[in-house]
Amino acid sequence: MKLNLTSFLDKKNYCLPIGRTNISLKDSDVENARINLYRDRDAFFVNGILCYASAIQSVNTNNYSWAFINSYYSVFFFCKVLISNWDYGIYYIGTTPYFIKVAKGESFTKESGNSHQLVFKKFIELFKHEAFIGEIENINNIDWFNHKREEINYRLSPMPDPSPPVPLYKYCNDIRKWIVRYMNDSIYSFDESHCYMAFPVYMMSYIIQYLYDNKKNEFISEELLIHLRKNIADANGPIDSIIKKIADLRL
């Protein structure tokens, strides 16, 4: 299933001339393009939450490597949320990506790289002066996440589970206590021993507070909340400090 923005631009036949020449978004299409971009943004947000819920469940079952990988995907989707909220979209023609500012007079720019590389590149460019960007072990935190995910996916043989991949884990299995701390103190987002569970929470909290202030997300349903209450949880039940924030976004 295509993204809403992609479907809209395909319907308007932008895929035909872009590959041959520089072309701008038509002024008459800007409003509807932005509506579709924001629908994608809201779907990306749900994807990020679901990935983080999977990370929590992986921690609960000592699958630490997959917890990191799921957290990485959570960061990936939250980056897409914030890029979209600044009215930028990525439009693929075949396998070639084009970057577009959804505004009057803006042109499609041909890009390269796989989807993750491009999203992280654009996120760093757009937010390099914002609080999301910092350093972990002397490198950009976004690049650090990407390098660690590749290490776990491709270079660890075997994965260290059920032992934690030190120094990536110092939680003593009290994930509930730590998540509450992460929501209230961003310093953990740039600590290599905590960031893979802390940074997604920091991004999520920011998105909820500033992006959805006085707004709702159409994809937050009761069915989704039931699922999240089962998965954003530990042996003592749902971690309500997160669940309540998400529940408040329901239409």
Over the stretch 98-126, which tens digit does the pLDDT of each residue have? Answer: 999 999 999 999 998 889 999 999 999 99
Mean pLDDT of 133-143: 90
How many Å apart are CA 70 and CA 53, to the nearest integer?
8
The pLDDT of residue 177: 87
pLDDT tens digits, one per residue of 143-163: 999 988 888 888 888 888 887
Q: Are 219 and 251 in contact (CB under 8 A)?
A: no
DSSP letter string, 136-189: ETTEEHHHHHHHHHHIIIII-SS--TTS--TTS---TT-HHHHHHHHHH-GGGG
- Write down how long the chain is: 251
pLDDT above 70: residue 173: no
Q: Where are the alpha helices (DSSP H) in the chain?
A: 4-11, 30-60, 64-85, 115-127, 141-150, 175-184, 195-206, 222-231, 240-247
pLDDT above 80: residue 224: yes
Burial of 36 (0-12, 13-18, 19+ CB in 10 A): buried
All structural domains of the chain with their residue ranges: 4-247
How many Å apart are CA 141 and CA 150, to the nearest integer?
14
For residue 48, what are the contacts with CB-CB under 8 A and spacing of at least 6?
73, 74, 75, 76, 77, 78, 81, 200, 203, 204
The pLDDT of residue 104: 94
Q: Are 196 and 71 in contact (CB under 8 A)?
A: yes
Burial of 204 (0-12, 13-18, 19+ CB in 10 A): buried
pTM for the model? 0.94
The pLDDT of residue 170: 63
More confident residue, 209 or 223: 223
Tokens of 224: 């989704």
